[in-house]
A = this chain, B = another copy of it.
Amino acid sequence: FCFCLTGFWCCCHWAQPPTDSSSHKKASLDRMGIFSKPAYTTSLSAQSDANKSDRLIFSKMRKTNIVDMLQFLTLDLLPAKNGEEPTMQFLLEVVDILTNYVRKTFDRSTKVLDFHHPHQLLEGMEGFNLELSDQPESLEQILVDCRDTLKYGVRTGHPRFFNQLSTGLDIIGLSGEWLTSTANTNMFTYEIAPVFVLMEQLTLKKMREIIGWPDGEGDGIFSPGGAISNMYSVMIARYKFFPEVKTKGMTAAPRLVLFTSEHSHYSIKKASAALGFGTENLILLSTDERGRVIPADLEAKVIDAKARGCVPMFVNATAGSTVYGAFDPIHEIADICEKYNMWLHVDGAWGGGLLMSRKHRHKLCGVERANSVTWNPHKMMGVPLQCSAILVRERGVLSGCNSMCAGYLFQPDKQYDVSYDTGDKAIQCGRHVDIFKFWLMWKAKGTIGFEQHIDKCLDLSHYLYTKIKGREGYQMVFDGEPQHTNVCFWYLPPGIRDMPDGQEKREKLHKVAPKIKALMMESGTTMVGYQPQGDKVNFFRMVISNPAATRSDIDFLTDEIERLGQDL
């Protein structure tokens, strides 16, 4: 074995290995030209000037000037001897950068983004170079890197960022994430995450109560996103009906088929591929014009599958589809699931939040009949990414499905009640603490605060819908008031408006949304998503989950679309 084979970490890279840390530090600073040629100074000063007015609050807090960080490397921070002072100073500088960013995020006079193409960022912007090197950088440069990382990113909390289902920057949630990072622990055992494990348990129970399962009974776990939560649901369903698959594999089961709407999230398809069902055994259900599953189509396809010798096992009902925001009729689907003995999963990743609103929860009517539910607080409830729960009505199947009883992690002879060691239920081993920010937000807002947020977002989307319905140049993708905050529409620039319907108009219209979106991103003023759907050419999908958005931001968006689309 030869180090040189790696082409990188070969023995000839340095004449000799580094010796003690102080001489190394001095040497490496020399190599970096820090003592001789502070290349970053220009960039930093330029930025400092620009940010001067934003640095009011923290400016008094600094014991020393920012330039002091020049003399330090990461080796000088804790756990280094005498590391406490530089550590505190460095963290304070970082917090200064972050709080400036937070304030600007909510300031409508700042851009949503400062767009650059990949090759531009890869070539390196002034003072900001993504390449990693063998030698350390000074802490001063690290601070510049932090600032620039934010500068060239996208402000997802900006009141005019409408691009994704997850938007906004909740201050309590943010604080929760900062604390979570500082605690830096793992959800697999009570032993090392006692408080977080209990918070997860209590919060999941509360969510099950809100779903409507008696006494909040059941099981669940937070997972790394809605796609994994949906994957869990398929795994658990399979375990419930064919537990022998766990040991013997899919060949031990008959040919199983799954059902989901053609409007549903692609994670169901990913799960059917990953778990060994095959995407061809995922049967897509037709929807009505509003994107809701037609129950009769489900029943017909179940009967057809049985006739072909397949075993219908699992139905996914979407509560809040990604594009249209449609809610499938859960009660009617549940009737069919009961009749044919199939698992009913409700994918409420996007729409689950509406359960918190007395005004809107009727859209998930029947959810209490589901066997499992995906619900992502990081979408409609404004919790920072990531925060997704899979909730299961029957106790025991989640554990049964996944447990492997690894003796080195889940010892039965601990001094505490080991039923709190939840790790063996998961397909993960280590699991990030996603619960704390959500728990803390719930404490701070109360259930009532989530309700207010959700009602407000739906009011705003009603405002947008009412505004553009019938307005010149706009055309709705489907008729009627949207069920969720998704408002789907085409904008027709004047030059297209009066064209006769037909292929040419379609082709032109298909290019409008991408073009407007590109102009938006280049001007950095706002962001909204677009996509085609089925035979429908590219249209805008406006979604509102951002607590910072107001009617004026909605007005800004339509003005901007009209301004940028004027001459297309």
Which of A115, A136, A533 neighbours the largest number of chain B CB atoms within 10 Å of its CB?
A136
| A95 interfacial by beta-carbon distance below 8 Å | yes
By a CB distance below 8 angstroms, the chain B residues around A153 are 183, 185, 193-196
By a CB distance below 8 angstroms, the chain B residues around A489 are none
By a CB distance below 8 angstroms, the chain B residues around A98 are 178-179, 182
By a CB distance below 8 angstroms, the chain B residues around A368 are 5-6
Which of A18, A79, A177, A388 neighbours the largest number of chain B CB atoms within 10 Å of its CB?
A79
Please tell me if the beta carbons of A172 and B142 are within 8 angstroms of each other in the complex: yes
Please tell me if the beta carbons of B171 and A87 are within 8 angstroms of each other in the complex: yes
Please tell me if the beta carbons of B9 and A439 are within 8 angstroms of each other in the complex: no
**A514 partner, pick from B152, B404, B414, beta carbons under 8 A:** B414
**A154 partner, pick from B6, B141, B175, B185, beta carbons under 8 A:** B185
Please tell me if the beta carbons of A136 and B446 are within 8 angstroms of each other in the complex: yes
Please tell me if the beta carbons of A198 and B121 are within 8 angstroms of each other in the complex: yes
Copies of this polypeptide in the complex: 2
Question: A34 to nearest B CB, angstroms?
Answer: 13
Known: A73-B444, A166-B430, A179-B146. A279 touches B247 (CB 8 A): yes
Chain A interface residue number, banded = 35 or more
Query: How far is B169's CA from A16's CA once the two chains are assembled, in angstroms?
Result: 30
Query: How far is B142's CA from A98's CA once the two chains are assembled, in angstroms?
Result: 21
Query: How far is B49's CA from A444's CA once the two chains are assembled, in angstroms?
Result: 25
Please tell me if the beta carbons of B266 and A404 are within 8 angstroms of each other in the complex: yes
Please tell me if the beta carbons of A385 and B184 are within 8 angstroms of each other in the complex: yes
By a CB distance below 8 angstroms, the chain B residues around A73 are 444
**A171 partner, pick from B21, B90, B445, beta carbons under 8 A:** B90
Please tell me if the beta carbons of B171 and A156 are within 8 angstroms of each other in the complex: no
Please tell me if the beta carbons of B246 and A279 are within 8 angstroms of each other in the complex: yes
Query: How far is B445's CA from A281's CA once the two chains are assembled, in angstroms?
Result: 50
Query: How far is B174's CA from A92's CA once the two chains are assembled, in angstroms?
Result: 12
| A443 interfacial by beta-carbon distance below 8 Å | yes
Query: How far is B245's CA from A279's CA once the two chains are assembled, in angstroms?
Result: 9
Closest to A206 in B: B132
In the complex, identify which listed stretch (A207-215, A301-309, A312-320, A461-469) lies at the interface while the others stay far away. A207-215
Closest to A159 in B: B79
| A366 interfacial by beta-carbon distance below 8 Å | yes
By a CB distance below 8 angstroms, the chain B residues around A518 are 414-415
Please tell me if the beta carbons of B185 and A408 are within 8 angstroms of each other in the complex: no
By a CB distance below 8 angstroms, the chain B residues around A323 are 408
| A447 interfacial by beta-carbon distance below 8 Å | yes
| A220 interfacial by beta-carbon distance below 8 Å | no
Please tell me if the beta carbons of A186 and B166 are within 8 angstroms of each other in the complex: yes
| A398 interfacial by beta-carbon distance below 8 Å | no
**What are 6 inter-chain pairs, A to B, with CB distance below 8 A?**
A9-B355, A118-B420, A163-B191, A166-B430, A250-B251, A385-B432
